Amino acid sequence: MKRYLPFVIVAAVALVTATSATVLYRTKQRPALTITKEKSAFVAGESVHIRGNPKAHVTLEEYGDFQCPPCGLLSEPINQLEKDYQPNLRVIFRNFPLVTHMHAREAAIAAEAAGLQDKFWEMHDLLYREQSVWSKATDVRTLFNSYAGIIGLDIERFKKDMDGDKAKERVEADQKHANLLGIQNTPTIFLNNKAIDPKNLNPDSLRAATEAAVKEKPSS
């Protein structure tokens, strides 16, 4: 037995190491995210994109990427939730363009440039509806300019804002906020500051969670 003991010890250490690595990997991949008071949805002096009743007692906050297909699939269902649960629900959108998506950052800047003319949500909806078109385009700016015209923007101002600092700074501010929370993937959705489990990021589960939150007594 003694001659085999070192091999048993080595095997045991290897098993423990492998198990620890697996746990660490899973922890990094699927963190339990919660927005605390120190990492609140709002920062003093910050302007956020809110759809619905600003004073609603339920907040659905999304960190999204305009080129992300799952985000696109949830866009209209989230819009419908905001309509169906008024005046108890407000929806907040924050930009989190992923580096793996070629046009995601430029699309986020386009949405923010539209926001400088008070048309953020119009561009938000149009970018998601047309995602399959512009995400494959080589000349994406021409398409974004045409979208600006469709939603009634001053196109020349839109072009300048696309190249200016304000729209880019808004995108960067959202990204910093996401990094503070440890967000890595899109869509990441919080309902009253608690992250929705990724497996529940589908229209039916999201509606059920929203309805349950709406029925809860508002906290003081």
Rounded to whole angstroms, the Cα distance separating 162 from 157 reads 9
DSSP β-ladder status, 58-64 and 89-95: parallel
Flag whether 36 is in a domain: no
Flag whether 27 is in a domain: no
- Residue 60's beta-bridge partner residues? 91, 191
Flag whether 146 is in a domain: yes
- Residue 52's beta-bridge partner residues? 90
pLDDT above 80 (res 38)? no
> For position 162, which CATH number holds?
3.40.30.10
pTM reported for the whole predicted model: 0.80
Mean pLDDT in residue range 45-50: 78
Flag whether 208 is in a domain: yes
Flag whether 220 is in a domain: no
pLDDT above 70 (res 166)? yes
pLDDT at residue 82 in the model: 97
- Specify whether the backbone of 52 is left (phi greater than 0), alpha (psi in -120 to 50) or beta: left
Flag whether 19 is in a domain: no
Question: Which CA distances in Å does 81 have to 74, 75, 167?
Answer: 10, 10, 28
The structural domain count of the chain equals: 1
Name the residue range of residue 162's domain: 53-215
- Judge whether 12 and 6 are in contact, CB under 8 Å: no
Rounded to whole angstroms, the Cα distance separating 135 from 127 reads 9
Band (pLDDT 50/70/90 cuts) for residue 23 is very low
Q: Starting at the edge strand that comes first in sequence, how are the strands of the sheet with 58-64 ordered?
A: 49-52, 89-95, 58-64, 188-191, 194-195
pLDDT at residue 102 in the model: 96
DSSP string spanning 79-136?
HHHHHHTTTSEEEEEEE---TTSTTHHHHHHHHHHHHTTT-HHHHHHHHHHTHHHHTT
Flag whether 78 is in a domain: yes
Flag whether 160 is in a domain: yes
pLDDT at residue 37 in the model: 38
Q: Which of 198, 177, 188, 106 is nearest to 147 (CA)?
A: 106
pLDDT above 60 (res 31)? no
**Higher-confidence position of 41 and 208:** 208
**pLDDT of 98-153, one tens digit each?**
999 999 999 999 999 999 999 999 999 999 999 999 999 999 999 999 999 999 99
- Judge whether 71 and 200 are in contact, CB under 8 Å: no
pLDDT at residue 95 in the model: 98
